[in-house]
Amino acid sequence: MELLSPIKRKDVDMSLLARAPCGGTKSGPVHYETTPGSRNIVAWRILKASPTGRCLIRVGDTPHDRDLVQLKPTDGSGGDDGSFPCGREVTSYESKEVRLPRDLNCDACILQLVWLTDEGDQYRCTDFESTTAEVPECFGQCLNGGICKNGKCMCPESFSGSNCQYEEDGEEKSFLQVLMDDSVVLIVYALMIIAIAAVFIAAYQLYKKREAEKRRQQQVGAEKLTANNAGEPNQRSDYQ
């Protein structure tokens, strides 16, 4: 699991992720500013799924595990112990919204994300500031180089989403690739036109065949009628 937002601490040693409370990392620069009692998004991605994975989100103003306060997601997915299903599929983005305690006021707070799995637990932490000073609603929530402006994340060209969490295919195509793509489209249209024309031609030929058969039957009927009339004796009526 990799913490995406708020931005995780640097210098992560993958071999120490199972060490509480923060996977062997030490406090670092503040990456995120928010206010007490505010709603905040915690996002992560999964590199190796765990079918029974569950997560915990906790915050506090000290690095001691016993002092961290457990937060339940605002969508009600947290169980009695506050944990919720997560990391059960390999994904590029998972997230939960949580509300910070109203009395959490510190300039070096810690947010802890714990991933509970059958293979063992993993710990990720980030450092943030929770003050009563007014800060933009999306501050610290914009991923992948996004900029918080007027309460919304302004994303780079190759990313999209409310938090710039979705990566788009930003590869530039060569002239040959564009030409090939256009050629494929033209071929598809040409085949569609040919198919439609073939249907009309087949329908017209069927119509002509039926008309010819109809005329032939009419001609045969006329010939039979003529033959019958020729074989009947003339009948005369004598009037006295």
Residue 83 and residue 179 in one domain = no
Q: Residue 208: inside a domain, yes or no?
A: yes
Closest CA to 59 of 116, 128, 110: 110
pLDDT of res. 118: 93
- The low-confidence residues of the chain, meaning pLDDT below 50, are 170, 172-175, 178, 235-240
Work out how many domains the chain is built from and give that number: 3
pLDDT of res. 236: 47
Q: Is residue 111 within 8 Å of residue 34, measured between CB atoms? A: no
Cβ neighbors of 24 (< 8 A, separation 6 or more) are 12, 13, 16, 17
pLDDT of res. 211: 87
For 38, half-sphere exposure in the C-beta direction (CA atoms, 13 angstrom radius) is 21
Q: Residue 93: inside a domain, yes or no?
A: yes
Residue 158 belongs to a domain with what CATH number? 2.10.25.10
Residue 166 and residue 180 in one domain = no
Q: Residue 219: inside a domain, yes or no?
A: yes
Q: Is residue 147 within 8 Å of residue 139, measured between CB atoms? A: no
Full residue range of the structural domain in which residue 210 is found: 173-223
Torsion angles phi and psi, residue 237, rounded to 5? -115, 120
Q: How many residues does the chain have?
A: 240
On whether the pTM is more than 0.85, the answer is: no
Give the whole-angstrom CA distance, residue 212 versus residue 10: 85
Q: Residue 189: inside a domain, yes or no?
A: yes
pLDDT of res. 233: 56
